[in-house]
Amino acid sequence: MPRSLRILWVALTSLTLLASGCAPRQPFYFFEDGDLSHYVGAIQKLEYPDSDQKPLEEAAGTVEPLTLSNPNFDQIWELSLEEAIRTALENGKVLRNLGGRFASFGGARPQTGEPPVSLLTAPQLTPSIYDPAIVETDPFRGVESALALFDAQVSSSLTWERLDRPQNISVLGGRIFPRVLEGDTGNWRTGVQKRTATGATWGFSNETIYDNNNSPIRESVPAPTPTDPLATRVVVPSTWTTNYDFTFNQPLLQGAGVTYNRIAGPDSFENLYGRPVFRGVLLARVQADISLADFEAGVRNLVSDTEQSYWELYFAYRNLEARKAGRDSSMEAWRKVHALYVEQSRGGEADKEAQAREQYFFFRSEVEQALTDVYRCENRLRYMMGISASDGRLIRPSDEPTTARISFDWQQSLVEALSRSAELRRQKWVIKQRELELTAAKNLLLPRLDAVGRWRFIGMGQDLINQSYNPYDAANLSDPLLGSDAYSTLFSGRFQEWQAGAQFLMPLGFRRELATVRHHQLQLARERARLQDEELEASHALVEAVRNVDTNFALTQSNFNRRVAAERQVEAVQAAYDAGTVTLDQLLDAQRRRAEAESSYARSLVDYNRSISQLHFRKGSLLEYNGVFLAEGPWPGKAYFDAHRRARQRDASIYLDYRHSRPGVFSRGPITQDFSAVGADASAFQLPPRDPATREEPLLTLPPTTGGALPEPEPELIPAPAQ
């Protein structure tokens, strides 16, 4: 192309690019019809899963909730604390909790303005009744998975191969080797392998080989003819070979012994990275015990939150009654002042009428807030019980809080707190796990020395098996293979092989092994330090719980006397106001003080009972205090039948003494849940009687709350709890 034409082409191309701009353009396609229904404009979309999970009837059947504008309900549900806890446990597949806002650990009182949404925010952190079974059946670290490593493994493989292969063979070599190798080959391998608790691997296997080819060097046998019976010989193209092997591999140093194999498992090095992974039977058992400790803590927290919710609902009712009493008295005072205000009499001044009206609406707002708190507390108790949020009934506590002093022995409580705490027991299991792992890690400092052996029985013949017993006879120089079969040769015992030896492997320096031991030593030291600080924390929490019991009891006494004094003050000021010796301010202030005193007394009384529950929580005796005991549920009848048969088999088997290599004791047996049944010998764990009435000191009789219907136009809201 001439230079001028090239310059013109470049110029036209540049002008075209400038005219089109830098924006991307869709390409042009022939035969385009514009149907883009197959086009997907988004990679991901919000979709519903294809699940047939029906919603819970308790949730889907929730009726309209109780509110200030909808206070109507069908009936009052008189509920005891025992029934509330029983219902919570019956519906407790997921061990619900009210979150960190609630005082399960002796913190502040629950906030009734926020709904419990711990399951919606972090469902995986909430324990359930399925967790112990899930850990037990874990396919990698479960007990059954660890035991399965010692089960016998049956393996079998069958292959068939057809040969049709040209070979580079000379004319002279063709007399010995065929230029085209043709034949069939079959191989069948079957075996059983078993690992033992000492680390040994025992195996029994069979291999049967069929070989048929056109090689001229294979054995030939005479074929008689009418003219020359001995002159012609034909090649036997096929042979059958079978052998039975008995093998073993026994570690003598690293990986040997019952202790190591029950801790680490027989395949601690059989993983992708070749690093030791300890997942033996003992560690799986420890994991199961840790899950049981977590399950117990979840049940305990469920019971604790249920009891706390129960007493909070009781307080909400008492607080409502106190506010209603203040509202009723302020209503009566406002009516009297308003009547004087209408008559323009003394005492009916406009400022006094407005002051009395303000007092009434103040108490009215307090009643409305207290009624909302009743609905909220009742809803939280329903949540902990696992029932519908609203079903036309209104729960009202039927149990009364105790007003007697409960005494706890400090030393006994401290011993119980350090021995019965689920968190401390869980941490001790973690320490036991680290100790077992350290024991297994120290075994890695030994060199690998394995004793290996094999004994093999071999059989070969023209056939695999036939009716006549005709083994291979090597002494027969003319035709040793004629009419023979492989199994006859095998059963003759003529051909046997054996192998014995040792395999040794040792890294120079043991750098990784020493680092592994040090790693587990540091982990053990860390867990022991954690246990010590957890015990210190448990003792501090117990001190705070004991202090709360004593403080709340004293506050209950003081607030009761304050309540009585406030009632007498209202009566005296009312009489004086009727006589005209005191002002309206003093009467309204006395009425407000009486309502505050009534609410404070109920608050301190509920806090006292909550603190008793929290002290049992810290002592580890909360479940026993509420009559709850943990036990494994019943198995199917077939499981008991199989277990009984297995026990009979073990009784009839030969006993092997493993005392020389059995692991040390790592469990002290099941925990004691009912300490009242421990006996006189367990002086360190003597528990006070279950019935607190045997140790109660009478405080003061709880007087009935002020009740009665409200004057018109105020409707009656909710009856007070039974006294």
Q: How many structural domains are present in the chain?
A: 2
What integer pLDDT is reported at residue 341 of this predicted model?
83
Regarding whether 605 and 573 lie in a shared domain, the answer is: yes
**Mean of the pLDDT values across residues 403-417?**
92
Question: Is the domain of 303 the same as that of 407?
Answer: yes
SS3 at position 586? helix
Quick: pLDDT tens for 343-369. 888 777 888 888 888 989 999 999 999
Identify the residue with better confidence: 690 or 660: 660
Assess whether pLDDT exceeds 90 at residue 182.
no
DSSP state of 395: E
Residue 49 included in any domain = no
Q: Are both 479 and 392 inside the same structural domain?
A: no
Give yes or no: residues 180 and 276 share one domain.
Answer: yes
Q: In terms of domains, do 273 and 293 share one?
A: no
Q: Are residues 621 and 542 located together in one domain of the fold?
A: yes
Q: How far apart are CA 304 and CA 298, in angstroms?
A: 10
**For range 158-183, the mean pLDDT:** 80
Collapse the DSSP code of 23 into the 3-class scheme (helix H, G, I; strand E, B; otherwise coil) and give the result.
coil
Last residue of a domain, one of 628, 663, 693: 628
| pLDDT attached to residue 664 | 63
Tell whether 245 and 308 lie within a shared domain.
no
Residue 423 lies in a domain: yes
Claim to verify: residue 207 and residue 273 sit in the same structural domain: yes
Decide if 188 contacts 220 (C-beta within 8 A). Answer: no
CA–CA dist 94, 397 (Å, integer): 24
How many CB atoms sit inside 10 A of residue 718's CB? 21
* Summary mean pLDDT of the chain: 82
Range 707-718 average pLDDT: 41
Residue 217 CA to residue 220 CA, distance in Å, equals 8
Domain assignment of residue 140, yes or no: no
706 pLDDT band (50/70/90 cuts)? Answer: very low
The two structure tokens encoding residue 151: 């089960």
91 assigned to some structural domain: yes
What integer pLDDT is reported at residue 10 of this predicted model?
63
Residue 33, in any domain of the structure: no
| Residue 231 sits in the same domain as residue 380 | no
Domain CATH code at residue 113:
1.20.1600.10
Strand partners, 165: 181
- Decide if 57 is inside a domain: no
Among the residues of 70-219, which ranges form H helices?
81-90, 118-121, 131-136, 143-148
pLDDT per residue as tens digits for the range 572-618: 998 998 888 888 888 889 999 999 999 999 999 999 999 999 999 99
pTM beyond cutoff 0.85: no
Domain around 609: 81-131+287-332+374-429+532-628
Residue 221 lies in a domain: yes
**Is the pLDDT confidence value at 103 over 60?**
no
Residue 270 lies in a domain: yes
> Radius of gyration of the chain from Cα atoms?
44
- 229 contact partners, CB below 8 Å, separation of at least 6: 222
Residue 492 pLDDT grade (very low, low, confident, very high; cuts 50, 70, 90): confident
225 and 294 inside one domain: no
User: Whole-angstrom Cα distance, residue 625 to residue 622?
Assistant: 5
Residue that finishes a domain, picked among 628, 662, 688: 628
**Other Cβ atoms closer than 10 A to 273:** 7
- C-alpha to C-alpha distance for 328 and 570, rounded to whole angstroms: 13
| Domain shared by 307 and 400, yes or no | yes
For residues 282-299, average pLDDT: 92
Same domain, 414 and 503: no
Length of the chain: 723
